[in-house]
Structure 1
Amino acid sequence: MTLTKELKKKKQPKQGMLANVMKQFDAAADMVDLNPNIKKILAVTNNELIIHFPVRMDNGDVEIFKGYRVQHNNALGPYKGGLRYHPTIDIDSVKALAMWMTWKTSLAGLPYGGAKGGIQIDPKKYSNAELERITRRFTYALGENIGPEHDIPAPDVNTNAQTMAWIADTYMSTKAPSERSKNQHVVTGKPIGSGGLEGRDRATGYGVFLTIKYWAKNKNVSLKDKTFIVQGFGNVGYWAAHFLEQEGAKMVGVQDAFGSIGNAKGIPVETLFEYTKNNQGSVEGFPKSMSIVKDDFFTLDCDICIPAALGNQITKENAPHIKAFLIAEGANGPTTVEAEKILLDRGVTIIPDILCNSGGVIGSYFEWLQNRNGELWELDEILVKIDKKIKEVFNKVLNTSESKHIDMRSAAYFLAIERIEKAYVQRGIFP
């Protein structure tokens, strides 16, 4: 039985990401026939931290910020997951994202568990100096709740390599001088000069592209002249579009937090990227395009749709109007369970987030290893490593999907949860 069929039994009112991920988990647990005791463990988080901390602003005033870190499960290894800075972040959304990270790291075969966190903040309202103080104060408040062998944060929405450098420096400064160099891998996604990985900036988007490429190859579909739209033109959306264009595909629509644009004849990826650099990061007003009404974006004519922004963007309201035959989930949880049922019934293929955007955490793993072992890898070598890992995981999901006659999300969850269950069965539960 597929996740979708299981979910039909559980009609609930429209809810947020946590309700979404719990529905997916419950359906997957039933499908896998998960041990009831292990299901109890995986249905809840291990630790939930909410921190209120003061920071002095540039004008001398003090503001109080709310930060989160949720550690869902560490049966397979240290907690791993990003930190996002966004005004909509709350404890429920962080719990959902942490749970998705557990499934993602398990599916990828990494020695990690799942965590997530962030600060309830609109970073555009603060100066760079204020963001540095906010980040460092948050890191200090987290204390030993993070650590290179315990919980390893990474960039996420509105955070970047600079954010990670501040975190690493703050965390290492709390250690004895002789121990500081041993804690560089407390975060991943750092700048190259501070122990970062070559190509980490493109790892997630590259992984999105690779899953599309391997799906197309399996279905004997050429990507040349195929059209695609991208929601979110940050690191994930841009790099996915960059690699797709290199394969001959054509971007015909882009949406970000500021506006939506379209051009059936194609929007040059690099030209748009350069434009955003001089337009406060926004695609709005790009001259070689027309403005699109926000709610009409997903109705654009295209072959491939890449939601690479926030969660719950594809809903039961817009799913019937999506024209793409393939949806590649660059974001975490962009498709609600109700929307997924509609899309699958229409014959639309969905490459699920825990597979599609796993290139980021795979890249993070390689950075963590590089720091841990005192090694340096070159870009070409890293991209080959990510490609090899993504191909291996993609083939496992596709083979499971076909052999069990289930959709790709069901197959991905089946493999992820099965691996965690095996770890608990083999180790037992203390005491």
Structure 2
Amino acid sequence: MGNSKKDSKTKNKKVPLKGMMDNVMEQFNSAANHINLHPNIRKILSITNNEILVNFPVKMDNGEVEVFTGYRVQHNGALGPYKGGLRYHATVDLDAARALAMWMTWKTSLAGLPYGGAKGGIKIDPALYSENELERITRRFTYALADNIGPEHDIPAPDVNTNSQTMAWIADTYMSTRPPAQRSANQHVVTGKPDGSGGLEGRDRATGFGVYLTIKFWADKNDMELNGKKFIVQGFGNVGYWASHFLEKDGAKLVGVQDAQGSIQNQDGLDVEALFKYNLANKGTIVNYPDSTPVEKGEFFSLDCDICIPAALGNQITKKNAPNIKAKLIAEGANGPTNVEGEKILMERGIVIIPDILCNSGGVIGSYYEWLQNRSGEIWHLEEVMEKLRNKLKVSFDKVYNYSESEGIDMRTAAFCIAIERIEKAYVQRGIFP
């Protein structure tokens, strides 16, 4: 009964994230070995707590019904409610959600937040659906998840192809299913909401600001001036744009951008704000931007630059393109953008990686502040939010950097060690029921 045109397009647009679970498990085991993690705790953290799959029908604008598949994987909740994004993408499946949920557990633990890790979404290409259809799909997905989410249980947030409007629909649907006296107390069932619907001022830029800050912190530690440094960004959505915005303010030069439609470059520098306006005006693509030349997809990561920011999907830096990367620093704006084989090559070449669970943690830290704001009924202003983010990220960065230096290990393993040790401590102190 589905729309055959949409069905065929979705099927033909699969981009499997094969190997993401293998990557996160190898990263986990490497850190677990380094800290001699207790075998029982290793068993617990190696698997997910809950995996929810829902199939739900939605009526399209033309009156036909399509059935969608949605996922929510809850990896671990030892430190608090599950926390993690919902993405709308053709690559969404259980394996991808498992890996991303596990990364979220490490990310929230590393940041010192009272959260566990979760991830999920809908297997869909949102570009094929109208705004009204996406609203109905989102609301029906929320209803299907039912009591598997909640402000003190599992708190979703925006991710790939979802935004503040998506979160507003989820919050409204969830609150509408609660008893009248409980509705206002459930506003923080999601974070990343619009400002007027309980959102946090500055949440839109929190992830990209965090990417910029970790680059800045690393540069300061290594006596490197950002002024005049060249950087490239894969993905010019919320994360890529804001990271570029703040880097440009520090004098760095954006020389290359890649999105799902193509790649561009200008070694003299691309104007970030002009490119952002062009992107908005051209249905979310930077292709054919006037002040640029096109770049072949496979050549993007080999562009001449000092800093590379993969801020799109997972498994983008691999053994195929890692040997040609010219950047001296990789700042992982996306989750799992570097696979294990690619990382080994980068490390052998002396290229530093600021790992995803540190680099892009500004988003979940911002989400935490929004959650707190909703719970307490406070309203924080932008300057206060940005200062809170800066302070929190500085603590996390210094912990990882210093641990890496003292132990003689890479920053990713250091970040994992710190994150896992915090969860291990919780299990040791509380014990295992029964």
The TM-score with structure 1 as length reference comes to 0.96
SS in 2 for 1:68: strand
Residue equivalent to 2:10:
none
Letter of the structure 1 residue corresponding to residue 203 of structure 2:
R
State the number of aligned residues. 418
Match of 1:3 in 2: none
Residue 146 (structure 1) aligned with residue 149 (structure 2): yes
Listed one character per residue, the Cα deviations across residues 245-296 of structure 1 (whole Å, up to 9, x for unaligned) are 0000000000000110001100010010011111111000000000000010
User: Following the alignment from structure 1 to structure 2, what is the Cα–Cα distance between the partners of residues 347 and 23?
Assistant: 20
CA offset digits 1:327-377 (Å, max 9, x no partner): 000000000111111101111000000000000000000000000000000
CA distance in 1, matches of 2:201, 2:95: 34
Name the counterpart of 1:298.
Answer: 301
Q: Which amino acid aligns with 2:235?
A: G
Look up the equivalent residue of 1:62 and give its one-letter code.
Answer: V
Amino acid at match of 2:431: G
RMSD between aligned residues? 0.7
Q: Deviations over 1:194-235 (max 9, x none)?
A: 000000000000000000000000000000000000000000
- The correspondence of residues 364-375 of structure 1 with structure 2, limited to 5 A, is 364-375=367-378
The residue number in structure 2 matching 1:131 is 134
Task: Give distance in 2, aligned partners of 1:30 and 1:213.
Answer: 31
Corresponding position of 2:417 = 414
Where 1:48 maps in the other structure, the secondary structure is strand
Aligned partner of 1:178 among 159, 163, 181: 181
Distance 1:386 1:277 in 2: 27
How many angstroms apart in 2 are the aligned matches of 1:206 and 1:308?
Answer: 13
The equivalences for 1:206-225 within 5 A come to 206-225=209-228
State the alpha-carbon separation in 1 of the partners of residues 281 and 406 from structure 2: 50
Percent of residue pairs bearing the same amino acid type: 72
In the TM superposition, what are the counterparts of 1:260-409 in structure 2 within 5 Å?
A: 260-409=263-412
Q: Using the alignment, how far apart are the partners of 1:31 and 1:65 within structure 2?
A: 42
1:8 corresponds to which residue?
A: none
Instruction: Determine the C-alpha separation between the residues in 2 that align with 1:139 and 1:56.
Output: 15
- 1:153-168 maps to which residues of 2 (within 5 A)? 153-168=156-171
Partner SS state of residue 315, structure 1: coil
Residue 122 of structure 2 is matched in structure 1 by: 119
Which blocks of at least 5 consecutive residues in structure 1 are unaligned? 1-13
Q: Does 1:71 align with 2:74?
A: yes
Query: d(CA) in 2 for partners of 1:142 and 1:88?
Result: 20
Q: Write out the 4+ residue segments of structure 1 that deviate beyond 6 Å after TM superposition.
A: none
> What code does the residue aligned with 1:411 have?
A
Q: Deviations over 1:367-415 (max 9, x none)?
A: 0000000000000000000000000000000000000011100100010
Distance 2:288 2:352 in 1: 32
Matched residue, 2:27: 24
Alignment-derived partner of residue 88 in structure 1: 91
SS state of the match for residue 204, structure 2? helix
Deviation of the 1:16 alpha carbon: 1.5
Structure 1 position 31, deviation (Å): 1.1
Kindly indicate whether residue 201 of structure 2 is the aligned counterpart of residue 198 of structure 1. Answer: yes
2:7 matched residue in structure 1: none
Deviations 1:81-112 (A, max 9, x none): 00000011110000000000000000000000
Q: Counterparts of 1:228 and 1:393 in 2: how far apart (Å)?
A: 24
Give the match's secondary structure for 2:232: strand
Query: d(CA) in 1 for partners of 2:174 and 2:89?
Result: 22
C-alpha distance in 1, partners of 2:432/2:133?
45
Q: How far apart in 1 are the matches of 2:141 and 2:112?
A: 31
- CA distance in 2 between counterparts of 1:29 and 1:360 reads 26
The yes-or-no answer on 1:423 pairing with 2:406 is: no
- Aligned residue in 1 for 2:49: 46
The answer to which of 248-257 and 28-37 deviates more is 28-37
- Tell me which amino acid in the other structure corresponds to 1:223: L
In the TM superposition, residue 148 of structure 1 has moved relative to its aligned partner by 0.1
User: What secondary structure is seen at the aligned counterpart in 2 of 1:70?
Assistant: strand
> For the residues of structure 1 that align with 2:284 and 2:35, how far apart are their CA atoms?
44
SS in 2 for 1:282: coil
Question: Tell me, what secondary structure is at the counterpart of 1:270?
Answer: helix
State the distance in 2 between where 1:255 and 1:348 align: 21
Give 3-state SS (helix, strand or coil) of 1:335's partner.
coil
Q: Write out per-residue CA displacement over residues 23-80 of structure 1, whole angstroms, 9 at most, x where no aligned residue.
A: 1111111111100001000000000001000000000000000000000000000000
Amino acid at match of 2:396: V
Distance 2:18 2:128 in 1: 29
- Alignment TM-score, normalising by the size of structure 2: 0.96
CA offset digits 1:158-178 (Å, max 9, x no partner): 000000000000000001111
Deviation at 1:15, TM superposition (A): 4.7
